[in-house]
Amino acid sequence: MSSQDKALDLRGEVDRLISAGMPRATALRLHELWRQESGPASAAFLISRYEKLRDKLSLLSYRLAILRSFTVEPVVPLLRAAAFCSGIDLRIHVGDFNAYAQEILDQEGQLYSFSPDAVILAVRTADVAPELWQDFASLSSNEIGDAVRRVSSSFQQWIRAFRHHSQAALIVQSLEQPPRPSFGVLDNMSETSQSGVIEQINQELRRAANGYRGVYVLNYDALVARHGRLRWQDDRKWLMARLPIAAYQLIHLSSEWLRFLVPLTGKTAKALVVDLDNTLWGGVIGEDGVTGIKLSAEYPGVAYQEVQRALLDLTRKGILLAVCSRNNPDEAIEVLEKHSGMLLRPKHFAAMRISWNDKVQGLREIAAELNIGIESLAFLDDNPFEREQVRATLPEVTVIDLPGDPLQYAAAIRDHPAFERLSLSAEDQQRTAFYAEQRERAQAEQNFQSKEDFYRFLDQEAEISPVTAATLARISQLTQKTNQFNVTTRRYGEQQIAELAAQQGSQVLSIRVRDRFGDHGLVGVAITRDRDEACEIDSFLLSCRVIGRTVETALLAHLAESAARRGCKQLIGWFLPTKKNAPASDFYRQHGFELAKQNGDGSLWSLDLTQRKIASPEWIKVSMMNGGHD
Amino acid sequence: MASDLFGIPADQISGSSSPETIEAWDSVQHLNLVLALEERFNLQLSPEEIEQMKNVRDIANLVESKLQATPS
């Protein structure tokens, strides 16, 4: 069957599955269709079918506005179809042609009344800096300097105005270089070169973006260069339809946008579970033996070293690695520990399942061991059969598709949007080490008769501090990612945290925990608001890394004590149940709070501060830092 | 392809279907149709040729003549 026939066949199957009322199976087939054919026609088909299923699948709804100086309409269906496949139901508003500046500045205009979650600003060098693009050779150095200043300050002004009017994320595309500089090869020899001044504007843009929370720069020039500058453009389409990009490249622009939207919506993978044979090395260890497998700096082993290099880069972004392989454990561990071609070692893996059991079971166990949801796992396996089985049984797992050629495996990993991050905290970079310490803790715990003895042995030290510029990103990240020990599950962006902290009567506190095995880093957040004579706990959450170590009691004791000191008579807090936060459901009751109110959303708990105190656990040494605001 | 883009069943599209008879066939969808044809059949359509694309039959004839002209 040709691929076109197969795609037609899939369309028929999709419609049969919709009529049969099988939304999850339909979604699987739609993803398959999109993998086979990601173009304008399949995108239109996907969108129309997804719109029928929208209410039956748990999709995350997200609003994106695109401000532009060129035709982006054909990218919109591609982006919506790809987003559907990532579990995002994208509503898109496209700004009027070349009206981006007015739309950013006009608080009453269409942009802000759409109330977007994110905005993309896509302007071409030719439109925003026409003299630098086409008349560069005729400009004096003064005129060049003026143009650079004008364009740079326009970007600064737009970003500032946008942040003033909106809390949404802003993605600004940087300026592209001309495919043929005005002075030809001489451009590179002159002091003020055309490419140099465009890069100067881009540097200014990056600097301006760094000054604000939630403003990101998309390196558009690098995107164009990656796909070939001359092949990227289509002059005929530009003249005909104001579409400057070749038809077959539009999918790459859509993918690049998605690399920002996936982390913005939190649809990222926290851990990647990898197969071993023919994925981390070439060949099968059980048949080829340690000396027979392909893994070195030369072809063909180099393909697998590149895979390992890509995986190492993921660990540096805080993504955990785990092994799930059908193998004899002794042989596999011998390669992991001793093979000279291995870049990854056992310490890089947070969990391992090497046995003859099936992979679906292995994935479930790994999620449980790492204490993360199954939807936070990604799966890498060279075997299409295994991938299909995981897709069919665990549709929440992000399955990485691998092409036939192992030399392209590494690129498939690096290109996947589920591994993108928009900011990195210190905790992200050390996460793999945290999990290794965690294993030591679990082993130590078994040697103690009572929990209290174990707590004393741990020598925990906690440091409570108001939010600072350095901790803001991590605090926001914890509110976004913590699902289990979280009483209200309110999600806050960095900008919102900064605003909460600045409000009169509000407090945003974080807690860091250290023990004899190592530093857990910043693992808890409490947000409170004083109103009349009560202090209300808006958010209280703790990373799963420290659940069950009485750290929550230490933080709550601090809230009660400081609220009493400020003259509050009551400490109150809502528990809002979700599918996942059962571990926190008894939190208030266990600490002496009384049920004050109950409604369809949850229960309100109250502690009379004039009568009661909360004792901080004696085995945790608590210190209070005066981080202050900056 | 036209069925996907315009969101109507294939059996309701004929050679004489055109922007006048299909409501969803607006200028944006016309551009999408051009892009889809270029991608699927790996060809380039000139502004003059796009001008000629008045209905489904014209489009089919145009694509066929271009495919024959460029041996693959």
Q: Are A41 and B46 within 8 A, CB to CB?
A: no
Q: Give me the pLDDT at residue B7, please.
A: 86
Binning pLDDT at 50, 70 and 90, where does residue A135 land? very high
Q: Which of A45, A236, A248 sits opposite B4 (nearest CB)?
A: A45
Q: If you measure CA to CA, which chain B residue comes closest to A239?
A: B47
DSSP per residue, A59-86? PEEEEEEEEESS--TTHHHHHHHHHHHT
Q: How far apart are the first and last CA of chain A?
A: 64
pLDDT at A240: 87
Q: Chain B residues with CB inside 8 Å of A239's CB?
A: 47
CB contact under 8 A, A241 and B31: yes
* Residue B32 to residue A243, Cβ atoms within 8 A: no
Q: Does A239 touch chain B (CB under 8 A)?
A: yes
Nearest neighbour of B28 by CB, restricted to A73, A239, A247: A73
Q: Which domain holds residue B28?
A: 2-69
Mark whether A390 and A361 lie in a shared domain: yes
The minimal CB distance from A247 to the residues B5, B35, B47 is found for: B35
**CB pairs < 8 Å spanning A and B:** 49
Number of structural domains found in chain A: 4
User: Based on the domain organization, do A473 and A576 belong to the same domain?
Assistant: yes
Both A497 and A399 in one domain: the answer is: no
Same domain, yes or no: A375 and A244: no
The sign of the dihedral angle between the CA atoms of A273, A275, A278, A282 is: positive
Asked if A490 and A616 sit in the same domain, the reply is yes
- DSSP character for A373? -
Same domain, yes or no: A554 and A500: yes
Summarised one tens digit per residue, pLDDT across range A142-181 is 999 999 999 999 999 999 999 999 999 999 999 999 999 9
Q: pTM for this structure?
A: 0.81
Give mean pLDDT, residues A302-323.
96
Q: Are residues A256 and A281 in the same domain?
A: no
Structure tokens at A171: 């993605």
Distance, in Å, from the CA atom of A68 to the CA atom of A166, rounded to the nearest integer, reads 18
Query: Does the distance separating the beta carbons of A250 and B35 come in below 8 Å?
Result: yes
Residue finishing a domain among A230, A265, A300: A265
Average pLDDT of A316-336?
95
> What residues make up the domain containing A41?
1-51
The alpha carbon dihedral of A490, A493, A496, A500 has a sign of: positive
Interval A499-519 mean pLDDT: 92
Is residue A99 predicted with pLDDT exceeding 90?
yes
Mean pLDDT, residues A492-510 taken together:
93
Is there a domain that residue A472 lies in? yes
Q: What is the pLDDT of residues A337-363, one digit of tens each?
A: 999 999 999 999 999 999 999 999 999
For chain B, the domain total comes to 1
B chain contacts of residue A240, beta-carbon cutoff 8 Å: 47, 50
How distant is the alpha carbon of residue A219 from its chain centre?
18
CB distance B35–A40 less than 8 Å? yes
A265, A296, A331 — which closes off a domain?
A: A265
Q: What pLDDT is stored for residue B71 in this prediction?
A: 57
pLDDT at residue A628 in the model: 44
Cα distances (angstroms) measured from residue A608 to each of A505, A508, A526, A584, A595: 19, 22, 19, 21, 12
Predicted local distance difference test score (pLDDT) of residue B48: 85
CA–CA distance, A381 with A395 (Å, rounded to integer):
16
Confidence class for position A1, pLDDT limits 50, 70, 90: low
| Separation in Å, CA of A134 to nearest CA in chain B | 24
> In the prediction, which pLDDT does A629 show?
40
- Mean pLDDT for the stretch of residues A578-595: 93
Looking at every residue in chain A, the average pLDDT score rounds to: 93
Question: Tens digit of pLDDT for each residue in A364-375?
Answer: 999 998 888 999
Helices and strands, number each (H, E), in chain B: 4, 0
Residues A334 and A452 grouped into a single domain: no
% of chain A at pLDDT higher than 90: 83
Confidence check: pLDDT of A566 > 70: yes
Is A539 in contact with A555 (CB distance < 8 Å)? no
- Whether A244 and chain B come into contact, CB under 8 Å, resolves to no
Of B65, B59, B64, the C-alpha closest to B25 is B59
Distances (CA, A) of A575 to A479, A487, A489, A522, A582: 15, 5, 9, 23, 10
Q: Considering only alpha carbons, which residue of chain A is nearest residue B49?
A: A240
* pLDDT value of position B50: 86
Could you tell me the CA-to-CA distances from B16 to A41, A493, B56 in Å, in that order?
20, 53, 6
pLDDT of residue A213: 87
The percent of residues in chain A predicted with pLDDT above 70, rounded, is: 99
Judged by CB atoms closer than 8 Å, whether chains meet at B5 and A247 is answered as no
Residue A301, pLDDT above cutoff 90: yes
Contact A40 B46 (CB under 8 A): no
Q: Does the residue A464 lie in any domain?
A: yes
Q: Is pLDDT of A3 > 80?
A: no
Q: Are residues B39 and A48, on separate chains, in Cβ contact within 8 Å?
A: no
- CATH number assigned to the domain comprising residue B22: 1.10.1200.10
Instruction: Please tell me the predicted confidence (pLDDT) of residue A195.
Output: 96
Kindly tell me if the per-residue pLDDT of A131 is higher than 60.
Answer: yes
Question: Which of A419 and B37 is assigned the larger pLDDT?
Answer: A419
Task: Pick out chain B residues at pLDDT < 70.
Answer: 70-72
Q: Which of A227-231, A328-332, A333-337, B68-72 has the lowest mean pLDDT?
A: B68-72
Quick check: A38 contacting B, CB < 8 Å?
A: no
Helix (H) or strand (E) holding A514: strand A506-515
Q: What is the distance in angstroms between the Cα of B5 and the nearest Cα belonging to chain A?
A: 5
Interface of A with B in 218-237 (CB under 8 A): 236
Residues A244 and A322 placed together within one structural domain of the fold: no
Residue A551 has pLDDT above 70, yes or no: yes
Compute the nearest-CA separation of B48 from chain A (Å). 10
Would you state the pLDDT for residue A64? 98
